[in-house]
């Protein structure tokens, strides 16, 4: 190796290892933040509250969505304080108009929470309909005139709710859920009576969302793939965990690109976008990433061992030795084995995500479609 090329590879190694040191000393990172962690507020009925098929509150789609945001380092805080089982669209609207407070710890009320939220999800309207329907041995039924009134009221309420949200917080990203068939255990002919009514309800909700420039999130088709598995209690309309995961996936399709600003081939550390010069690569099913940084600002002693083609990082009592083109990594003298070795590609050193996760206890998430990597500690 000539001196110029050797120097180039050493500098490349230094830049690449910025990510490793950043995981330990995040405040030292020298990267411009083009994203931010989000405050997430869930509004609505029992689905937003996380009611399970056995009349207990637990983990619902809102909790799972918050967990997904946290995994990729984008969650600042999450609240479902105003998600109440049994709520109708009218009750959600009244809470907002009356600026209700829930409990002694709620000092700013629902309007204050809406004003500070970055992401808001809403599900409301199903209870408006179900309370007017009659269930007999012949199936579910509702008077056509009553149905028309309910649909008009739901659409008006949803639109009014969204108007208030956008007035209080024009910058918030708002997502409104469409409902699924909650009666998969009914005989087919009875479901055929109910599904057109469900479609009308969803159309009313979607029309209100469209008029208020809000994202409508359908769930009917995804739950219909395996409805009895997703709604395990034949006597209850609420999903189990697998059903809530399916609903969460529908929300994630639209929330994910919004919170990450549609970035592709990017790396985020604790929700902060990091620029890098070499796209992630996949070798033997493992993802290798490169991060460009300014190592002089990191406060770590970094040296190059030409004999072993290794980078040595020293900080405090910790010493890490990463060997290029080798599955061997040493941490404080202890040998670690990695599936795929670090590589030099286009004069850039590529570090396995698995090495970052296993060596520094970080959470690493890889999104294969956008080829984004999310690292959080």
pLDDT for position 262: 82
* 114 touches 172 (CB < 8 A): yes
Beta bridge partners of 310: 305, 323
Cα gap 184→190, rounded to integer Å: 10
Cα gap 352→363, rounded to integer Å: 13
Contacts 24+ apart (CB under 8 A), 301-306: 302/14, 302/17, 304/10, 304/13, 306/6
Residue 109 main-chain phi, psi, to 5 deg: 75, 175
At residue 214's C-alpha, the angle toward residues 208 and 219, to 5°, is 80
Q: Which single residue is written with the structure tokens 């309420």?
A: 157
- pLDDT above 50: residue 294: no
**pLDDT tens, 148-185?**
999 999 999 999 999 999 999 999 999 999 999 999 99
At residue 368's C-alpha, the angle toward residues 364 and 369, to 5°, is 135
CATH of domain 38-259: 3.40.50.1110
Cα gap 184→236, rounded to integer Å: 10
SS3 323: strand
SS3 155: helix
**pLDDT tens, 208-240?**
999 999 999 999 999 999 999 999 999 999 999
Tokens in use for 303?
């040296």
Average pLDDT of 244-267?
A: 91
Q: Where are the domains of the chain?
A: 3-34+264-376, 38-259
Cα gap 86→150, rounded to integer Å: 16
Please give the C-alpha separations between residue 377 and each of 26, 72, 111, 151, 279, in angstroms, as whole numbers. Answer: 9, 10, 32, 47, 23
Mean pLDDT of the chain: 83
pLDDT for position 361: 60
Cα gap 46→112, rounded to integer Å: 22
Domain 3-34+264-376: CATH superfamily is Copper amine oxidase-like, N-terminal domain (3.30.457.10)
pLDDT for position 11: 41
Cα Rg of the chain (Å, integer)? 26
* 260 touches 267 (CB < 8 A): no
Q: What percent of the chain has pLDDT over 90?
A: 54
């Amino acid at each position: 190796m000539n001196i110029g090329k050797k120097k180039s590879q050493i500098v490349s190694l230094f830049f690449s290892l910025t990510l490793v040191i950043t995981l330990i000393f995040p405040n030292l990172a020298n990267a411009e933040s083009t994203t931010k962690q989000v405050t997430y507020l869930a509004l609505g009925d029992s689905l937003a509250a996380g009611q399970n098929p056995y009349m207990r509150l637990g983990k619902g789609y809102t909790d799972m969505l918050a967990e997904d945001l946290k995994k990729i380092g984008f969650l600042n805080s999450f609240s479902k304080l105003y998600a109440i089982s049994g709520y109708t669209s009218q009750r959600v609207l009244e809470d907002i108009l009356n600026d209700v407070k829930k409990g002694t710890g709620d000092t700013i009320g629902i309007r204050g929470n809406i004003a500070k939220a970055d992401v808001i999800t809403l599900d409301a309207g199903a209870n408006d309909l179900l309370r007017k329907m009659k269930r007999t041995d012949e199936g579910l039924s509702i008077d056509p005139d009553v149905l028309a009134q309910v649909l008009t009221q739901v659409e008006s309420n949803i639109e009014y709710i969204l108007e208030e949200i956008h007035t209080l917080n024009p910058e918030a990203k708002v997502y409104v859920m469409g409902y699924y068939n909650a009666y998969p255990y009914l005989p087919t002919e009875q479901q055929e009576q109910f599904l057109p009514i469900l479609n009308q309800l969803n159309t009313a909700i979607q029309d209100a969302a469209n008029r208020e420039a809000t994202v409508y999130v359908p769930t009917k088709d995804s739950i219909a793939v395996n409805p009895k598995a997703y709604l395990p209690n034949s006597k209850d309309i609420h999903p189990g965990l697998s059903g809530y995961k399916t609903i969460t996936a529908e929300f994630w399709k639209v929330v994910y690109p919004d919170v990450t600003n549609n970035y592709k081939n990017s790396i985020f550390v604790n929700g902060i976008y990091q620029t890098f010069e070499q796209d992630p690569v996949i070798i033997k099913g493992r993802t290798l990433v490169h991060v460009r940084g300014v190592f002089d600002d990191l406060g770590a002693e970094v040296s190059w061992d030409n004999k072993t083609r290794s980078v040595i990082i020293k900080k405090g009592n910790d010493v890490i030795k990463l060997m290029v083109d080798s599955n061997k990594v040493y941490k404080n003298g202890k040998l670690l084995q990695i599936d795929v070795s670090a590589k030099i590609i286009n004069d850039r050193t590529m570090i396995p995500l698995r090495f970052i996760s296993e060596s520094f206890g970080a959470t690493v998430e890889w999104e294969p479609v956008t080829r984004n990597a999310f690292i959080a500690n």
